[in-house]
Amino acid sequence: MALERFFRLRLLPIVAGLIATCWIGAGEASAQSRNGWSVCNETSRIVEMATGKPDDRSVYVEGWTRIRPGECRVVMEAPLLSGQHHYLYGRTSRAHRGGMKSWSGEFPFCVDSQGQFSLESVPNCTAMGLETRKFQPVLIESRTRWTTTLKETQKWSRQTAQSAGIQRLLGDAGIELGNIDGYIGRRTRRAIREFLISQQLPEDSTDDELIDYLEQVAIDRSRNIGLSLCNRTDDRIWTAIGRRRGEGWESRGWWRLEAGSCERVVDQELIASPHFVYAEMDSEAGQKVLTPAESELFCMSPTQFAILGKDKCEENLYLEAPFRQTEVPVDGRLVVEFFDRDFDFPTDDGL
């Protein structure tokens, strides 16, 4: 189950069109002002990039380079290794609602998800408090300049990507919820001006400065709302959640939690009612499941799922499993931690 689930999860961000890639040849890349490998962000999200450069029989991995919407940044200085594969992994800023999205590939390398890092040939990620991420290979065909462009399904130019990024961040920060169309109208300009005044920021701030201000406000806001799941074990955990949605119920999964990591799986204010969680652990002794304790039955699937309702699971060709009840969220926020003592081997009925 875990292998199938991982395969689907790894591909979904690309299929959904969050970040597609377009390799631009060296001739077009010469328009960049600096030598090296540049990444141009033509999406409406702030992205953070990590890179890998081959060195004899190892790969030198470092991160993170933050790139605003509509911005190009050098992620690796020249000289590059022409004719060889370099490696790239991207993630979106924690400021954006909907959870972190990533751009990944087939090649696993260690990263420090909490801050800047430079690593070479780390034999065991977990033993060093690091996490594994899978990088995309990129064939570099120039020693001096190469460009990779990140795109969304919506085809933005660099200018409209910047405007769309501002619109998205205004929503993430709870200031203005509107269409993300790459056009800043009169109403949005008024909201921006009121935001700058309320934060005692210069009214003549540049668009780049505005993006930075909005990102910080959105990150601060996200810490105080939503549902976060934390893995306090030494093994990888796959998680799913169940909760009330309006007059009905919803179950959703999967989120992969590496050892020691946390993931904010709901980034909106929670209702003051118990939520429910399910988890499976990939341990060396075999797969373990979260012991149910006080629980409710929800529908689920071996692959990524979002299911409305929790009745007639088998009739609708879903699996059924007990999801553990959580505490009631306080002020719209809840953190659930998973420990080794919470897991056991499945019983004969598969639960």
| pLDDT tens column, 225-265 | 789 899 999 899 999 999 988 778 999 989 989 888 888 88
190 three-class SS: helix
Assigned domain for 351 exists? no
Question: If you search the block for the tokens 């990102």, which residue do you land on?
Answer: 215
Assigned domain for 182 exists? yes
CB 26 within 8 A of CB 50: no
**How many domains is the chain built from?**
3
Last residue of a domain, one of 103, 125, 151: 151
User: Which pLDDT score is estimated for 301?
Assistant: 92
119 DSSP β-pair partners? 61
Assigned domain for 6 exists? no
pLDDT at residue 1 greater than cutoff 50 = no
Q: Are residues 146 and 165 in the same domain?
A: no
Assigned domain for 19 exists? yes
User: Which pLDDT score is estimated for 183?
Assistant: 92
Amino acid identity for residue 152 in this structure: E
User: Which pLDDT score is estimated for 266?
Assistant: 85
CA distances from 22 to 19, 85, 150, 228, 245 (A): 10, 16, 7, 34, 38
User: Which pLDDT score is estimated for 33?
Assistant: 52
User: Which pLDDT score is estimated for 286?
Assistant: 84
Which residues lie closer than 8 Å to 338 by C-beta, 6 or more apart? 229, 230, 231, 232, 233, 237, 239, 257, 279, 290
pLDDT at residue 36 greater than cutoff 90 = yes
pLDDT at residue 189 greater than cutoff 90 = yes
Q: Are residues 212 and 238 in the same domain?
A: no
Q: Are residues 195 and 248 in the same domain?
A: no
What is the span of the domain harbouring residue 79? 14-151
Average pLDDT over residues 205-212: 96
Last residue of a domain, one of 100, 128, 151: 151
Which element (helix H / strand E) includes 209? helix 207-222
Q: Are residues 173 and 203 in the same domain?
A: yes
Q: Are residues 144 and 231 in the same domain?
A: no
Which residues lie closer than 8 Å to 262 by C-beta, 6 or more apart? 228, 229, 230, 231, 335
As a whole number, the mean pLDDT across the chain is 85
Assigned domain for 237 exists? yes
User: Which pLDDT score is estimated for 30?
Assistant: 39
Assigned domain for 8 exists? no
Strands 276-283, 295-300: pairing kind: unpaired
Q: Are residues 82 and 171 in the same domain?
A: no
pLDDT at residue 291 greater than cutoff 80 = yes
Amino acid identity for residue 189 in this structure: R
Average pLDDT over residues 193-208: 93
Q: Are residues 202 and 243 in the same domain?
A: no
Q: Are residues 204 and 85 in the same domain?
A: no
Lowest mean pLDDT among 87-91, 110-114, 172-176, 224-228: 224-228
Q: In the chain, what percentage of residues exceed pLDDT 90?
A: 58
Q: Are residues 143 and 48 in the same domain?
A: yes
Query: What is the C-alpha separation between 87 and 255, in angstroms, rounded?
Result: 24
Last residue of a domain, one of 185, 201, 222: 222
Q: Are residues 139 and 20 in the same domain?
A: yes
Q: Are residues 50 and 62 in the same domain?
A: yes
Tell whether pTM > 0.75: no
Assigned domain for 275 exists? yes
pLDDT at residue 195 greater than cutoff 90 = yes
Query: What is the C-alpha separation between 93 and 79, in angstroms, rounded?
Result: 29
Assigned domain for 1 exists? no
Average pLDDT over residues 260-271: 84
Average pLDDT over residues 293-305: 90
Q: Are residues 254 and 282 in the same domain?
A: yes
